[in-house]
Structure 1
Amino acid sequence: MSPKLTVLLVIFSLHCRMTLASDPDPVQDYCIPNTKSGTGKTTRLIVPPCKNSSEATTDDFVFSGIKSIGNFSDTGLAAITVSPAIFPGLNTLGMSFVRADLKVGGFNPPHFHPRATEIAYVVQGRVYSGFVDSTNRVFARVILQGEVMVFPRGLVHFLMNVGEAPATIFGSLNSQNPGMQKIPTAIFGSGIKDELLEKAFGLSPKQIGMMRRKFVPKGLR
């Protein structure tokens, strides 16, 4: 094989890899899942066939579920994630979104979305927000009401309310199934052997146990 052909094949394979890394473009105006088709309800990965376009209604494209605050976690975060599973009009459009409310001092721990870039818009409050790139450089600052910050796909990012009042953030992601891994849970709740964690972080068995209790939900310990 000639060097020129080899280079072309490499470029082609990289292009395919990049193309497959994001949601596919829709091939029609919209696709409202037909949950009565016998395939079950819409999930993150299994989507029923589309309804006939004549069966779609305006209600399929309107969502009211983020008007109220969700349930708060131990970190002072209440997040409502909206995907095609609960908002049919999003299906095949390559996007999802989230409403996040933070109590004073509340935070969203370092996490990342393997399949989506996110834009966070501050509806109210003062939020310390940032991400870490692949050279371990942190980009962070306090963002205020009306400001936005972008978190590139796959990079670890975080949020913390540093104001004196509750904060509300609206996040938009360019995938209908962005995925999310919270770093503390991924490390201490995934079943990695304690011996490795002790060596990697210089922690004692007692400290590992403490980290599991602090960051991992009871059902995952």
Structure 2
Amino acid sequence: MALNSMSAFIFVLLALSAPLAVVAGDPDILTDFVVPPVVLGNITGEYFTFRGFRAALSKTAPEPQNFTVTKASMAEFPVLNGQSVSYAALSYPPGSVNPTHTHPRASELLLVVDGALSVGFVDTANKLYTQDLATGDMFVFPKGTVHWQFNQGTQPARALSAFGSAAAGLVNVPVTVFGTGIDDAVLAKSFKTDVATVQKLKAVLTPSPQKA
């Protein structure tokens, strides 16, 4: 009798966990690719082509003054819908950083294509992993972990990142914590500091209002 009860319990657990496994990644599609309703006429190779990285990867393009990212996700490249992949081109002037952030829906595989970067992430056991990368090196940031990249050298650096989702998502940790209106008292207690310090951080991290 006890064995039957245990078997039933395990079955219930498996049944409850099954939907979670199904939604763990991008949903599968039943066709080779998805064509948005707004696309009219015959589909050609042009629909599968993205040219948005030309400027970001050009050897003759002027170096940006700040860290910049050019995305090729489903929003910019609609054919990626259902393909479970996307890219980003990243440019790092000397001394610039891609601030601590997470991608809730995908792991990230970063390839340094020019220069050098110092990178790292923190896992769910609060263990820190860091590495110094040179041109040609790759590094993986596991899905959902807090991570960053830093160009601490004197020369510009560039990288390409591949994501295991057509829409990896981005949670910028400093802006999310201090720039989204969380109560000052909550933040002060959370970080064991005072409200005045929290307000100083909010002043520089709260995003500017979007212009219409």
Using structure 1 for the length normalisation, give the TM-score: 0.84
- Runs of 4+ residues deviating >6 angstroms: 70-74
Residue 97 of structure 2, aligned match among 91, 107, 119: 107
Alignment match of 1:119 (pick from 92, 109, 118): 109
In structure 2, what is the equivalent of residue 44 of structure 1? none
Instruction: Map 1:1-221 to 2 at 5 A.
Output: 2-35=5-38, 55-69=42-56, 76-219=66-209
Separation in 2 of the partners of 1:210 and 1:218? 15
The alignment partner of 1:165 has SS state of: coil
Q: Which amino acid aligns with 1:131?
A: F
State the Cα distance separating 1:118 from its structure 2 match. Answer: 0.8
* 3-state DSSP of counterpart to 1:4: helix
Q: Letter of the aligned partner of 2:90 in structure 1? A: A
**How far has the Cα of 1:64 moved from its partner?**
0.8
> Does structure 2 conserve the Cα–Cα contact (< 8 Å) formed by 1:69 and 1:78?
no
Identity percentage of aligned residues:
29
**Ranges in structure 1 where 5+ consecutive residues have no aligned partner:** 37-50
The residue type equivalent to 2:185 in the other structure is E
Give the alignment's TM-score, normalised by structure 2. Answer: 0.87
Give the whole-Å Cα distance in 2 for the aligned partners of 1:88 and 1:193: 38
Give the Cα–Cα distance (whole angstroms) in 2 for the partners of residues 77 and 155 of structure 1: 21
CA distance in 1, matches of 2:64, 2:12: 49
Larger mean CA deviation between 13-22 and 186-195 belongs to: 13-22
**Mapped partners of 1:117, 1:12: distance in 2:** 27
Shift of 1:218: 2.4
1:11-30 Cα shifts (integer Å, max 9, x gaps):
23223202212101221111
Q: Distance in 2 between matches of 1:171 and 1:3?
A: 46
Match of 1:45 in 2: none
Separation of aligned partners in 2, 1:149 and 1:164: 21
Does the CA-based 8 Å contact 1:99-1:168 persist in structure 2?
Answer: yes
Residues 73 and 134 of structure 1: CA distance in aligned 2, closer, same or farther (over 3 Å): farther
SS of aligned partner of 2:199: helix
Q: Structure 2: which 5+ runs fail to align?
A: none
Change in CA separation of 1:105 and 1:31 when aligned onto 2, cut-off 3 Å? same
Structure 2 distance, partners of 1:34, 1:96, is 21
Q: What one-letter code is carried by the residue in structure 2 that aligns with 1:157?
A: H
1:29-69 Cα offsets, whole Å, 9 max, x none, are 11232325xxxxxxxxxxxxxx7xx8211011111111113
